[in-house]
Amino acid sequence: MRNSPAFFQRILIPLLVLAALCGGFSPLTPFPGSAVGAEIQPVARAATSCAAIRASIRKVTRQLKKAKRSGNTTAVRRLKKQLRKLKQQLAKCSLAPFIEMVTVGNPGNAADPGNTSDPNVYGAVADTFQIGKHEVTLEQYTAFLNAVAATDTYDLYDPSLLKDSQVAGIQQNGSPGSHTYTVVGAGTRPVTYVDWFAAARFCNWLHNGRPTGAQIAGTTETGAYALNGATSGLSITRESGAKFWIPSEDEWYKAAYHHPNGLGGPADDYYLYPTMSDTPPDNQIGATPNQANVYTTVYSVTQSSSVSTTQNYLTDIGAFSGSPSYYGTFDQGGNVWEWTEGINGGQHALRGSSWDNLPAQSLSSYRAGGGERADTIGFRVAGGMP
C-alpha cells in the first residue's frame, strides 16, 4: 500500500533526504564583467556531516583511552581501526566543500606600471589560473591535521592555535601517535600560526588528493613541492605539474589588484587596494563596499581602540561581502597576511596585511617578509584550471 509505513520508510524518506541534501548546493553568481568561476559546493550538508564525524572522533578517542587503561586489547584494536576510518571520512568531507576557487582570467596581462616602491613590478601572469576565494580556514586546516598529524612529524600544529585567544581556533587532543584535532569556535575564520613550510605541506596534501597517513612522500612531503623533510630555507620551488600551490607573488598580486581598463577598471588596469578601490578601506563588517579587517583608529571586530588579550580579532571569511576583488576573492587586504612564493629580503614574501595593521599595509606597493609563525599570518592556495 502506498500509504503504509513501510512505503513511507522505503520511498518517501529517501526522497525527502535527497531533497534536503540538494538544498545545500548553491551556485556562485559572477560579479558583472568579471572572470569569476567556482565549484558548486554542498556547504550545508558537509558542515553538518563533518561536525558529526568530529564528534564521533572525540567519542571514540575517549573510548580508546579507557580501553587502553583497562588493558582490553581487543577493544583497543577495534577502536583504533574505527578511528582510522573516521579520520579518513573527515579528510574527505571537511576540505572539498570549503576550498572554493575563483578563476583569474585575462592571461598575458602586463605588470602594474604604478608600483614604483620596488625595482620589480608585479601582476603579469601568462596563463589563466585559479585561486582560493577565501583564506584557508580553521576547519580546512583541522581536516588536514586529522588526516596527517596523528604523529605531527613536522610541527604542522602550533600550540598557540589554542593558547592565543586573539586568534584561537584549533585544539590538539590525545598523545603522539593518536592525536586528533577539533575546531574551537567558528571554523570559518582563517588559520594562523602557519609558516611557509606548513602551507606548502597543505598544498602537497591537496595535490595528492587529501590522503590519510604519516607525513611522508605521497602525503605532505612531495607533490606540489619536493620538501622531503625541509623546514627552512628559500630554495624550494614549485614542481612542474603542481595541482595546488602557494600563489606566486605575481599571481597573488593580479588576483588582488588587477581589473582591465577595457572591462571597466582603472586607467592603468590596477587598483591600489584589493577591494576594487584607490582609497583606503574602512573596517565595517558587512556589505558596504571598500571594507576590510584592518586597524583604522579602532579594531574591526570590536570597533574599539583598546586591545584585549581575550578577544578574538579574526573575521569569518567573506564577512566583508561588499568588498571583493575584481576576480571575486575576499580578504586579500586585512584579516591575515598571506604567504606567497616570492622572496623579500631573505624571507618568503607576505602580502595583504592583517587585523592588526593599518589600511596602508594592504597597498599594492607594500610587501613584507616572514620566517616565523605569527597570529597575523595565514595563507590561501592557488591552482591550475580543472
pLDDT at residue 6, as a whole number: 40
Q: Which of the pair, 40 or 318, is modelled with greater confidence? A: 318
C-alpha cell, 248: 606566486
> What is the tally of structural domains in the chain?
1
- Give the span between the Cα atoms of 200 and 320, in whole angstroms: 27
Question: Is the pLDDT confidence value at 78 over 70?
Answer: yes
For the stretch 159-166, contacts whose Cβ atoms lie closer than 8 Å and that sit 24 or more positions apart, written own/partner, are: 160/193, 160/373, 160/375, 161/191, 161/192, 161/193, 164/192, 164/193, 164/375, 165/309, 165/310, 165/311, 165/312, 166/308, 166/309, 166/311, 166/312, 166/313, 166/375
Return the CATH number at 259. Answer: 3.90.1580
Contacts of 56 (CB under 8 A, 6+ apart): 86
pLDDT at residue 350, as a whole number: 98
Q: Which of the pair, 224 or 37, is modelled with greater confidence? A: 224
Question: Is the pLDDT confidence value at 276 over 50?
Answer: yes
pLDDT at residue 49, as a whole number: 58
Pairing mode of beta strands 337-344, 377-378: parallel
pLDDT at residue 90, as a whole number: 74
Q: For residue 72, is it within any domain? A: no
pLDDT at residue 341, as a whole number: 98
Q: For residue 280, is it within any domain? A: yes
pLDDT band of residue 51 (cuts 50, 70, 90) is low
pLDDT at residue 93, as a whole number: 59
pLDDT band of residue 53 (cuts 50, 70, 90) is confident
pLDDT band of residue 34 (cuts 50, 70, 90) is very low
Please, is 12 exposed, middle or buried when counting C-beta atoms within 10 Å of its C-beta (0-12, 13-18, 19+)? exposed
State if pTM tops 0.95: no
Question: Is the pLDDT confidence value at 352 over 80?
Answer: yes
Q: What integer is the mean pLDDT of 43-62?
A: 68
C-alpha cell, 280: 583606503
Asked if 171 and 162 touch (Cβ cutoff 8 Å), the reply is yes
Question: Is the pLDDT confidence value at 10 over 90?
Answer: no
Domain that residue 203 falls in: 101-383
Question: Is the pLDDT confidence value at 88 over 60?
Answer: yes
Q: For residue 23, is it within any domain? A: no
Question: Is the pLDDT confidence value at 16 over 70?
Answer: no
What's the chain's average pLDDT? 87
Q: What integer is the mean pLDDT of 308-323?
A: 97
Q: Which of the pair, 52 or 224, is modelled with greater confidence? A: 224
Q: For residue 173, is it within any domain? A: yes
Q: For residue 36, is it within any domain? A: no
Phi/psi region, residue 338 (left: phi>0; alpha: psi -120 to 50; beta: rest), is beta
C-alpha cell, 53: 564525524
pLDDT at residue 116, as a whole number: 65
pLDDT band of residue 23 (cuts 50, 70, 90) is very low
Q: What integer is the mean pLDDT of 238-250?
A: 97
Closest CA to 352 of 102, 202, 169, 360: 360
pLDDT at residue 87, as a whole number: 83
Q: For residue 71, is it within any domain? A: no
Question: Is the pLDDT confidence value at 107 over 80?
Answer: yes
How far does Cα 279 stand from its chain's mean position?
A: 27
pLDDT at residue 22, as a whole number: 41
pLDDT at residue 260, as a whole number: 98
Q: For residue 378, is it within any domain? A: yes
Most confidently modeled range among 9-23, 49-63, 359-373? 359-373
Lowest mean per-residue pLDDT among 44-48, 80-84, 169-173: 44-48
Q: Give the DSSP H or E segment for 41.
A: strand 41-42
Q: What is the CA radius of gyration of the chain?
A: 22
pLDDT at residue 66, as a whole number: 92
pLDDT band of residue 371 (cuts 50, 70, 90) is confident
Q: What integer is the mean pLDDT of 145-165?
A: 97
**Residues written for the chain:** 386
Tell me what percent of the residues of the chain surpass a pLDDT of 70: 84
Q: For residue 352, is it within any domain? A: yes
Question: Is the pLDDT confidence value at 128 over 90?
Answer: yes
Question: Is the pLDDT confidence value at 33 over 50?
Answer: no
Q: What integer is the mean pLDDT of 232-243?
A: 97
